[in-house]
A and B are shown apart, each in its own frame.
Chain A
């Protein structure tokens, strides 16, 4: 059983790339997630928005993928992920919008 994860690339009207993730992110699928984040990041030089609203589980491997772009990262996260983002310190580097 592999972990379910759906990744969708979107673009804001202003052209800002938005990566929408649904499901769970752990070490089994973090490669896929990292690739998607990197791809989205490569799409532009400005803000990178990752929408985690529909993510039920995010572990340190997933966090690592996000940390790589923390300075231009804008996260949309559900309250459930709040403690993880805070404890890892990502919330201090990136902009986090609680959904």
Chain B
């Protein structure tokens, strides 16, 4: 172990690889006052080790002069003071020794540690005097004797944090100034103030703003009062221009040469650097100025410092910009206020100016009224008009004047205590007559108040009259109410109405001056928009309030509240003792209100506002020229009268009171000219012009607008709307006449073309229409009205047009017109036929054609079309089509039921009816029953309403269609072979029956009736013929083992020249005949019938084929048409299969063996019949092998054009060969269809098949005694089949077991029932069937051991066994392969 005496190696004392460890190890300590480390006290050595191994900045002071030892972590904090290892503290930290020296001394002297936090130390470690902050502790280091010999320090530099927090505070201070500055100058001063508090970071600042010329001008400086001038020989002033030009900051490093000493911000040294930053303007504009910010000499200008200064500049800019914006706003507000003042002054002046002339009008007028009292009605009327309008003008002027007085604060009110109830009731009374005249209720409820109210009488009068006038103006029905109450120490007046109300959004602006609610329905559009504003001012002068509550469409309540007493009134404004006073100002209000009332209600002379003839001047028109017609629209009756008087001498004048009436009048009968006021209720002049222009019929009517609103803007608005001319009130009569004259002249020229066109269109025979691009019909001619009943007065007709068939009740027709309409809207040209509905409801069909055109004025797509009524043609065509279709269908019908079915099907198709029925009453019970029904529609069960509906047709006159309601349909009765017959067709859901359908049904029903009669006759004839044919064709019943097919070539005959026959001879043999007479059809059939009968008779007599044919020769020779008939005649012994045959020119029979070989029976060939009568005929014989098939046929089967006969025979042979294993009937079908030409047999065809032996069929009573007989028959049959003994035994046992089962089980309880055995041989298959009419029990071997054994035997002996038991009985079906 090391000891205190210094044996410790240097690596232990100064451990690690750090720079300081190496330096310490390398230092020659012995050469320093600290001496050899070996002699250091243990505490020093320990401290050394701690220091060197710590990554926290640490150092030690040791010895008398406190020499320094420090670690690597301390190096950066030391700056250029490193290396100071082993040097005295005072030497290293000279500049701060005044601070730390005493601290160190106190530690060494007292042994007490110190703690310093964020202590400012002015260090010079990086070449300049630096502001730095530290947190550290000095701890004593003792030597081995316990004396304090050194100090141990762990320290942390906090400069960045301290400075960062300080700068942040500056920025926050700046931000807090936002929104406080009212001017740019103030904003700059605020910035300077903040920066003045932040001189540590910004020792000097100067804000420069651009003046109006864009030059930077100093605006504020910090610290305040600092004045800088560039030194005479220096580099110059701040580079402001450069910064403003580029918008980029510039750092200035030569501050001292430029300006000398700048304020240092409390630091020992003045700044040497500064930054000039731009102050950016609002987005998108250049800098508004620049700011100079000096850099403190105590901190280096690093990135943090730069960022801070940049933020200072931005905050400054924001403050400046905010102030600029505020100034602009402020200026605008002041300008507006000024404008307002000017306006008021103007109104005031002008109103004042008006009073003089007004006085000079009203004064003399009063005199004139007196003097001219008897001067005639007309003069009186005119004076009345002047009087009324002078009053109105006076009222307007006075109101404006009052207003300007109030504005200017010059309104002198004289408040006197009054009985407000009495005063108000009096004022309301003035309006009573006017209110009641228009049919409104007027409820005035003003009970006396507990104390007088101080009012200025004139003002109160205006308040009440304005409110009442307002209520009357906007109320059309219901009532107007006035109530007065004392509430909460106030007098409360309420004026309520049930008028149009005020839209919610308009309420806040209701009391604004000149604010008018657009589009409100009113009795008049007269008004200045000032009344309510003045009411509010007047109430305000009484220290009262006014509020409005309103619901649009329900009404409005105005509430005025005035305080009692005088406390609220200005001193000296209360006057005393007024005499009861008359209502002074009411007259103008009342007169004005009365002018709004309809003329009729006003009780004056009635005026035909619409018709236009009532007041037309009775000037006779000049010959050949009609006087031009002018329509005048103005809501002011006086103005209407005035205009009429001006225009009447030259024009026929019609007057209306608003735009809508004008529009209706123009549409009904377009005048030559419209003179219209702009401001009118219901529809104003601009809307009128727009509506007229939008309609092609009225688009060309010239319109002259009159308005009180002067100014370029107003006239442009009018002209843009499409007015032809514009006159501003007041105007002179001459001016109006000149304008009207010019417009009418122009219009007449312009209209000449249009009128010519209209005349042309109207003269068209066809209906004419014009559609716009939406499909609205905008123009029609008189033919259109004639066809559809819709006239021009309701134009435009928008889709869906009123003539469309109803969608719900007639959807099919509706779809048709929808398709047509789609065509009109979507295609350039075309034509269509569509159903339409006349105005009176009846159905029409029209044929329309249309073309697309472009409106030359607007370029819009228009469609011009014509159509004509094709209802009659269409109905005729429809009838003919239906009739033709029905006749085609009926022509195919061969019987009455067929004809009915076809007819019903057709009827159903014509009407697309769900059901069509034909009903007769020819049953024994005379109840209706269907004669035929369309497939899929059932005749309802009893109780089905259809029955009742159809039964109701019974007894109706034939061919008179009747409608049924439940279910909806139409029916008709007609004569029918079996008695009256009713047809009934159900109405489709989409297609109701209309008149034309009844006619159609009558036509079709009539035709059907005739057809049924005809078909009935035909049917009877045919039935007769068929009966005859069947009689001559062939045997009713074929012997077992035969199959035949027959195809007559001629329809509808079922016989032809070919025949087949089988004759069962007395000896058990069977005569077989297949013959073919020459020709076809009825003629050949008659020959055939005779030959057949003869042949049959001969066979019975002679039983030898050759002899039969020889005899037949002689017979045939007697029959015309029998010559050359061919016949194959054979006699077959079914027990042996021996066939004797002879052929009279007939194609050979084909014999097909079970193995598939075929041979022709061609040995006994001879000439056809009757060619050489008397000549003997040969006989051939052939014994048919078991399971072979004989095929006889006529040449219709095999003969084809351009094909040798033997090819046909070969084909027939092949068909027989292919089917030889099949059932005989199937084989017959296969041969018939296999050889059938594509279009069917075109010649008579007969074929006959026999398979030998014929099937065995045995029926016997279910008794065991029968078994031996059955076995005997089966044994015989098997012998004919030449079955071997084993097969025979197997078949006998299997059949025997099946029969025994049938007897035992099936019929144990019902003995005597029949059991049937059938045995059929095909080529190599034996098919055995045992059938009984009982049911088999499932075998139960334990109970009937030998019966179970029987089944086992059957299965073992047969190849294939099927046992089927159902309710009709049991069938055992067995197959076994034939072996011989």
Contacts and interface: CB of A to CB of B under 8 A. Distances in A.
Interface of A: 1-4, 24, 26-28, 57-61, 63-64, 67, 80-81, 83-84, 87-88
Interface stretch (B91-99, B539-547, B842-850, B1261-1269): B1261-1269
Interface string B1239-1275: 0000000000000000000000000111111011000
Contacts of B1265: 1-3, 28
Given A2-B1268, A57-B1289, 5 more contacts: A1-B1268, A60-B1300, A60-B1349, A83-B1286, A87-B1356
Interface string B1277-1297: 000000001100110110011
A28 B1349 contact: no
Given A57-B1296, A80-B1286, A26 B1350 contact: no
B1300 A59 contact: yes
A84 B1296 CA distance: 12
Contact of A64 (B1345, B1352, B1357): B1345
A59 B1297 contact: yes
B592 interface: no
Contacts of A3: 1265, 1267-1268
Given A61-B1346, A64-B1349, A80-B1285, A87 B1268 contact: no
B1353 interface: yes
Given A80-B1285, A83-B1357, A59 B1350 contact: yes
Interface string B1313-1348: 000000000000000000000000000000001110
Given A4-B1268, A84-B1353, A88-B1349, A27 B1304 contact: yes
A24 B1264 contact: no
A59 B1268 contact: no
A26 B1300 contact: yes
Nearest to A1: B1269
B1315 to A, nearest CB: 13
A60 B1268 contact: no
Contacts of A4: 1268
Nearest to B1347: A60
17 contacts: A1-B1265, A24-B1271, A27-B1267, A27-B1300, A27-B1303, A57-B1271, A57-B1289, A59-B1296, A59-B1350, A60-B1300, A61-B1300, A61-B1346, A64-B1346, A80-B1289, A83-B1286, A83-B1290, A87-B1353
A63 B1349 contact: yes
Contacts of B1286: 80, 83
A50 B259 CA distance: 161
B1289 A83 contact: yes
A21 B1232 CA distance: 55
Nearest to A2: B1265
The 8 closest A-B pairs by CB, nearest first: A64-B1346, A28-B1264, A60-B1350, A3-B1268, A87-B1356, A60-B1349, A60-B1346, A27-B1264
Contacts of A84: 1289, 1293, 1353
Contacts of A61: 1300, 1346
A83 B1265 CA distance: 25
A3 B1071 CA distance: 36
B1350 A24 contact: no
Contacts of B1269: 1
A88 B1347 CA distance: 11
A80 B1285 CA distance: 7
Contacts of B1357: 83, 87
Interface of B: 1264-1269, 1271-1272, 1285-1286, 1289-1290, 1292-1293, 1296-1297, 1300, 1303-1304, 1345-1347, 1349-1350, 1352-1353, 1356-1357
B168 to A, nearest CB: 119
B1268 A26 contact: yes
Contacts of A27: 1264, 1267, 1300, 1303-1304
Contacts of A60: 1297, 1300, 1346-1347, 1349-1350, 1353
Contacts of B1303: 27
A60 B1292 CA distance: 12
Nearest to A84: B1293
Contacts of A59: 1293, 1296-1297, 1300, 1350, 1353
Contacts of A67: 1345-1346
Contacts of B1304: 27
A87 B1358 CA distance: 12
Contacts of B1350: 59-60
Contacts of B1264: 26-28
A60 B1293 CA distance: 9
B1334 to A, nearest CB: 16
Contacts of B1345: 64, 67
Contact of B1353 (A26, A80, A88): A88
Contacts of A64: 1345-1346, 1349
A18 to B, nearest CB: 23
B1285 to A, nearest CB: 6
B55 to A, nearest CB: 112
A97 to B, nearest CB: 19
Nearest to B1269: A1
Contacts of A80: 1285-1286, 1289
Contacts of B1349: 60, 63-64, 88
Contacts of B1267: 3, 26-28
A26 B1296 contact: yes
Contacts of A87: 1352-1353, 1356-1357
Contacts of B1296: 26, 57, 59
A64 B1272 CA distance: 23
Nearest to A4: B1268
B1260 to A, nearest CB: 10
A61 B1300 CA distance: 9
Nearest to A58: B1293
Contacts of A2: 1265, 1268
B1337 to A, nearest CB: 16
Nearest to B1263: A28
Contacts of B1352: 87-88
B211 to A, nearest CB: 137
Nearest to B1271: A57
Contacts of B1353: 59-60, 84, 87-88
A26 B1297 CA distance: 9
A24 B1350 CA distance: 16
B318 to A, nearest CB: 121
A2 B1264 CA distance: 8
Contacts of B1300: 26-27, 59-61
A21 to B, nearest CB: 15
B1286 to A, nearest CB: 7
Contacts of B1292: 57
B705 to A, nearest CB: 124
A61 B1271 CA distance: 16
